[in-house]
């Protein structure tokens, strides 16, 4: 595995470790970071986790009381690990990580394409073929001969589950299923993961989905799109993280080439999510045109605008 030996050396050498999740944390960054931190704690390390935003409620069954910091002091750590971040900006602490990378080791574990974090990291463990960062953490833990118990297996399985939309997306490979199978053998709790994923939509969340689904349109080029305004979120009583998953659902429409969801945010921007299931389309190229990023099949960007002027015109 790429750079695993060096990662092992860094783990052995350093005692106080900070694991950084990405902003607007998803199931993969949360689960992968937890899996890694459980292992490191068992090695006697002092490990903290940090994320800029709160962990969405739907993932509380994973964090299950584990404290995750929303800020940190550079001086408190010997080693920093960024997991699933895609970009320095997306860590939520770009300036600080850039600063720390000059004096302390920074490991970048990711399955996104090379990015700005790649440049400042001391060690990159990147596999763009991996369906989830959890696959890379799995490889690393196995290289380290970690004991994979039911807890770690559940985290790895959850990371994969979320980034593959429950094993439905085109990013699922033979290796993905092999890892999932091994996780199940070690007690990974697939039922717990899928139950929390499917049944955790609140009535107001479902109403918000209804509003977005009611507006779905597909154009002659196979672009499926819909949008959610701030007012929709307010009216339905939903939370902004209730919007996650909508773009995946509209992407299942037959003949869809690209699915796009526009969501108005309180800070006056439009969060745009892109999906495709086609092998000949790379939505990350489109996202990068607008200053965003992501994977070939799942990407996003932020527009400095409002829905009225850009979408409904
Ligand atoms: Mn991921």
> Could you tell me where the DSSP H helices lie in the chain?
4-13, 27-42, 60-63, 94-103, 116-120, 133-143, 150-163, 174-185, 190-198, 203-214, 230-236, 246-250, 283-289, 307-310
pLDDT of residue 113: 80
Ligand 1 geometric centre to CA of 165 (Å): 11
Q: What is the pLDDT of residues 134-189, one digit of tens each?
A: 999 999 999 999 999 999 999 999 999 999 989 988 899 999 999 999 999 999 99
Ligand 1 geometric centre to CA of 110 (Å): 7
The list of the chain residues with pLDDT below 50 reads: 310, 312-313
pTM confidence score: 0.80
pLDDT of residue 56: 86
| Domains of the chain, CATH where assigned | 4-197 (3.90.1640.10), 203-310 (3.10.310.30)
Ligand 1 geometric centre to CA of 72 (Å): 23
List the end-to-end C-alpha distance of the chain, in Å, as a whole number.
50
**Which of 31, 299, 2 is CA-nearest to residue 171?**
299
* Beta bridge partners of residue 81, listed in sequence order: 19, 107
- Given a contact cutoff of 8 angstroms between Cβ atoms, the answer to whether 276 and 297 are in contact is yes
**Which of 296, 290, 293 is CA-nearest to residue 278?**
296
- Can you tell me whether residue 204 is helix, strand or coil? helix
Tell me which residues have their CB within 5 A of the ion that is ligand 1: 28, 84, 132-133, 163
Ligand 1 geometric centre to CA of 159 (Å): 7
pLDDT of residue 58: 85
Ligand 1 geometric centre to CA of 246 (Å): 17
């Amino acid at each position: 595995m790429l750079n695993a030996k060096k990662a092992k050396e860094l783990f052995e050498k350093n005692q106080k470790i900070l694991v950084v999740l990405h902003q607007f944390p998803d199931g993969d960054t949360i689960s992968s970071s937890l899996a890694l931190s459980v292992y490191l704690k068992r090695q006697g390390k002092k490990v903290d986790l940090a994320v800029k935003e709160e962990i969405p409620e739907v993932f509380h069954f994973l964090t299950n009381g584990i404290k995750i910091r929303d800020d940190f002091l550079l001086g408190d750590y010997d080693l920093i690990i960024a997991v699933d971040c895609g970009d320095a900006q997306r860590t939520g602490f770009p300036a600080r990580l850039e600063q720390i990378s000059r004096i302390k080791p920074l490991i970048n574990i990711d399955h996104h394409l090379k990015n700005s974090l790649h440049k400042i990291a001391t060690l990159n463990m990147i596999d763009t073929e991996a369906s989830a960062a959890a696959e890379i953490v799995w490889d690393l833990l196995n290289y380290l001969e970690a004991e994979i118990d039911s807890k770690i297996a559940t985290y790895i399985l959850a990371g994969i589950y979320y980034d593959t939309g429950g094993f439905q997306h085109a990013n699922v490979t033979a290796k993905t299923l092999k890892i999932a199978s091994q996780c199940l053998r070690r007690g990974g709790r697939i039922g717990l993961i899928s139950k929390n994923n499917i049944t955790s939509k609140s009535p107001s969340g479902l109403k918000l989905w209804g509003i977005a689904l009611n507006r779905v349109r597909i154009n002659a080029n196979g672009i499926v799109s819909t949008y959610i305004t701030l007012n929709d979120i307010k009216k339905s009583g939903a939370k902004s993280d209730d919007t996650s998953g909508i773009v995946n659902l509209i992407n299942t429409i037959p003949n869809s080439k690209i699915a796009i969801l526009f969501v108005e945010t309180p800070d006056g921007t439009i969060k745009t999510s892109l999906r495709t299931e086609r092998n000949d389309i790379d939505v990350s190229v489109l996202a990068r045109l607008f200053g965003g990023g992501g994977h070939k099949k799942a990407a996003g960007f932020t527009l400095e605008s409002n829905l009225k002027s850009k979408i409904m015109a």
